């Protein structure tokens, strides 16, 4: 390992890779993340209606997704935008789980919502805007569910792992020293405007090297446009990600949020099919992540 990284991250002892510890496997319902499988989570940005959610859930499970995503509480950039269905959305997610067997990932935006969301979700999402909301992170650590932590859009990897450490410190001992946290690279804000965010693809092998936690990629919020999503998903597979979080909608042009970056149901099916050779490359690698050489003297 690059000694610089070691010094930078080893203080986050519950989540850092210290050499002797095995990678963490996160259990979400009957799905294991970080155990070798490439786990795809897919679904609409926001839960809008029973028809929209059920159609999407049935299509994504048929295409190979293991976890259904859908926001019931939406952190929107504009205060005038749709804020989500709240508890009605959670109930629809539960219904979709019963119909398809998919586990559910959904966001809790404030500490007051955590107990309620935890009754319905199998995996608790922390959005990019909440990555440094420590009161929320501490509450999530104690809620008894695994946590999907998205990288803050202006956060360094050090800050990202610091937030993971905050959650891990609040996690009860039943995790047996294996904090049930999945990291999600979802693009960061840079000077580039051609994409909504800049997918920091190097974050995946760096995080896989310096931390014990599984790492997934959200190509949808990184790209901002649906045409780029499949190719970024391939890149994620090849660099050794443990899975994806992808937005899918039966009628993206009518979506109440993030329609431009949502795949149609057939496009999601094609994306999954087309991933296969890239997953074979990932699985054929002798180690999931290349050993990163110690490099010295670079600026
Ligand atoms: C989302 O997953 O729909 C979302 C709001 O993501 P982010 O927090 O990464 O913007
Ligand atoms: Mn979204």
Q: Residue 295's pLDDT is what?
A: 44
Q: What is the model's pTM?
A: 0.95
75 alpha carbon, closest ligand: 1
34: left (phi over 0), alpha (psi -120 to 50) or beta: left
| Residue 220 structure tokens | 């949808």
The answer to whether 180 and 147 have CB atoms below 8 angstroms apart is: yes
pLDDT for the residue 2 = 65
Contacts of residue 259, Cβ cutoff 8 Å, sequence gap at least 6 = 45, 249, 252, 253
Give distance in angstroms: CA of 284 to centre of ligand 2.
Answer: 32
Task: Give per-residue pLDDT as tens, 38-59.
Answer: 999 999 999 999 999 999 999 9
| Ligand nearest to the Cα of 106, by number | 1
Using DSSP, state whether 277 is helix, strand or coil: helix
What band does 1 get if pLDDT is binned at 50, 70 and 90?
A: low
**pLDDT confidence of 3, banded at 50, 70, 90?**
low
Domains by residue range for the chain, with CATH: 3-285 (3.20.20.70)
The closest-lying atom of ligand 1 relative to the alpha carbon of residue 150 is 9
Q: Using an 8 Å Cβ cutoff, are 265 and 185 in contact?
A: no
Q: Separation of 152 CA from ligand 1 center, angstroms?
A: 10
Give pLDDT tens digits for 109-151.
999 999 999 999 999 999 999 999 999 999 999 999 999 999 9
Mean pLDDT for the stretch of residues 185-200:
98
**Would you state the structure tokens that stand for residue 18, as one six-digit string?**
């210290």
pLDDT classification of 8: cutoffs 50, 70, 90: confident
Q: How far apart are CA 273 and CA 110, in angstroms?
A: 37
Q: What is the pLDDT of residues 55-97, one digit of tens each?
A: 999 999 999 999 999 999 998 888 888 999 999 999 999 999 9
Distance 272 CA to ligand 1 centre (A): 21
Q: What residues does ligand 1 touch, defined as CB less than 6 Å away?
A: 45, 71, 75, 127-128, 150, 186, 221
């Amino acid at each position: 390992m690059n000694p610089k990284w070691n010094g930078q991250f080893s203080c986050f002892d519950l989540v850092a890779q210290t050499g002797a510890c095995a990678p963490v496997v996160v259990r979400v319902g009957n799905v294991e993340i970080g155990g070798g499988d490439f786990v795809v989570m897919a679904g609409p940005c926001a839960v809008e209606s029973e028809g929209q959610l059920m159609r999407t859930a049935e299509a994504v499970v048929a295409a190979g997704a293991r976890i259904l995503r859908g926001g019931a509480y939406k952190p929107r950039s504009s205060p005038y935008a749709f804020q989500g269905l709240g508890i009605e959305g959670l109930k629809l997610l539960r219904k979709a789980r019963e119909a398809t067997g998919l586990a559910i990932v959904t966001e809790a935006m404030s500490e007051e919502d955590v107990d309620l969301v935890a009754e319905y979700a199998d995996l608790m999402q922390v959005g990019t805007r909440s990555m440094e909301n420590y009161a929320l992170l501490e509450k999530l650590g104690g809620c008894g569910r695994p946590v999907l932590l998205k990288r803050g859009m202006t956060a360094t990897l050090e800050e990202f792992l610091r937030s993971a450490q905050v959650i891990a410190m609040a996690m009860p001992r039943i995790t047996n020293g294996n904090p049930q946290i999945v990291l999600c690279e979802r693009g960061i804000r840079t000077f580039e405007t051609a994409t909504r965010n800049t997918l920091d693809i190097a974050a995946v092998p760096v995080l896989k090297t310096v931390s014990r936690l599984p790492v997934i990629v959200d190509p949808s919020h990184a790209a901002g446009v649906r045409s780029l999503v499949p190719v970024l998903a391939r890149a994620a597979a090849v660099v050794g990600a443990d899975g994806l979080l992808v937005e899918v909608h039966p009628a993206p042009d009518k979506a109440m949020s993030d329609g431009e970056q949502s795949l149609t149901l057939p496009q999601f099916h094609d994306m999954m099919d087309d991933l296969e050779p890239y997953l074979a490359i990932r699985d054929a690698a002798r180690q999931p992540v290349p050993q990163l050489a110690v490099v010295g003297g670079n600026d």
